[in-house]
Amino acid sequence: MRPVKRVRITQPSPTEKPTFPRLYSALRDHYGQQDWWPGDSPFEVMVGAILTQNTAWSNVEKALANLVAADVLSLTHMLRLPEPDLAALIRPAGYFNLKARRLQNLCRWLHNCGGVMALSSWETGRLRDALLGVNGVGMETADDILLYALDRDVFVVDSYTRRFFARIGITDGGDAYDSLRATVERELGGGARVFAQFHALIIAHGKALCRKKPLCDTCPLRSICAFVRASA
């Protein structure tokens, strides 16, 4: 039997200001290394970024498994696939007709750009603007693609991050997307690897403890959390 790995938990001091680097360190100490985003290729990550819109990742996994089983999880095959057939395969992800259309929009854009590899020479700002010009790709989806598929120095702001930052007291919850993203990138630093880890750690924390109905008693950040203080 393998020995149980004990994760070192660093409880922040009550006098600590909840800065992004301190939050990152505390979450990393508590949850350990996160392997996210799941995907065997940049293209698969891009497909997953569309499929995960408004659904749980478990549903995305089922849709991706269908695409793999049908041998169409590639740019060439997906472009050739009739939209109704694609919609049927991704049905587990929900909103399947809309997402099939969005996937083919993304695929056509990728094809016109020369494929995924051709994007490596694009400056990040230009690439983000181009992604946002694809019908069905919003800011969160674009940043998922930039960070996890293309390894760009971009932080992703999603519902987990907004809820966590607002509860901990580092934001008021009403920050504009690009303003909050830029603040995290500037104050946390470390580039794509750190941004991906921080985002993944926040998701892990949001699923385990900082839920819609939070489990504050066992939270490693309870000593500096504004929500806990307000609830006392």
**HEC secondary structure over 122-159:** CCHHHHHHHHHCCCCCCHHHHHHHHHHHCCCCCCCCCH
pLDDT value at position 2?
A: 35
CA distance 28 to 25: 5
If asked whether residues 101 and 129 sit together in one domain, one would say yes
The last residue of a domain, from among 149, 174, 192: 149
Q: Percent of the chain scored above 70 by pLDDT? A: 93
Q: What is the mean pLDDT of residues 31-53?
A: 94
Vertex 172: Cα angle to 209 and 181 (nearest 5): 85
Structure tokens at 111: 């094809």
Q: What band does 232 get if pLDDT is binned at 50, 70 and 90?
A: confident
Q: What phi and psi values does residue 91 have, to the nearest 5 degrees?
A: -50, -40
We report the CATH number of the domain holding residue 51 as: 1.10.340.30
If asked whether residues 107 and 160 sit together in one domain, one would say no
If asked whether residues 107 and 181 sit together in one domain, one would say no
Domain that includes residue 139, residue range: 42-149
pLDDT value at position 17?
A: 73
pLDDT value at position 9?
A: 38
Q: What is the mean pLDDT of residues 167-188?
A: 94
Amino acid at site 80: R
The last residue of a domain, from among 128, 149, 170: 149
Q: Is residue 109 part of a domain?
A: yes
Q: What mean pLDDT value characterizes the chain?
A: 92
If asked whether residues 204 and 162 sit together in one domain, one would say yes
Q: Is residue 4 part of a domain?
A: no
Structure tokens at 14: 């009550």
**Burial state string for 128-142 with b = 16 or more CB within 10 A and e = fewer than 16:** beebeebeebebbbb
Q: Is residue 14 part of a domain?
A: no
pLDDT value at position 146?
A: 98
Q: Is residue 182 part of a domain?
A: yes
Q: What is the mean pLDDT of residues 174-194?
A: 96
- Check whether 4 has a pLDDT greater than 90: no
Cα-based distances in Å from 124 to 51, 97, 157, 184, 192: 23, 30, 17, 17, 12
If asked whether residues 138 and 172 sit together in one domain, one would say no
The last residue of a domain, from among 115, 149, 183: 149
pTM, whole model, 2 decimals?
A: 0.91
pLDDT value at position 117?
A: 95
Q: What band does 38 get if pLDDT is binned at 50, 70 and 90?
A: confident
If asked whether residues 162 and 140 sit together in one domain, one would say no
- Please give the tally of structural domains in the chain: 2
pLDDT value at position 16?
A: 63
Structure tokens at 6: 């004990």
If asked whether residues 48 and 101 sit together in one domain, one would say yes
Q: Is residue 6 part of a domain?
A: no
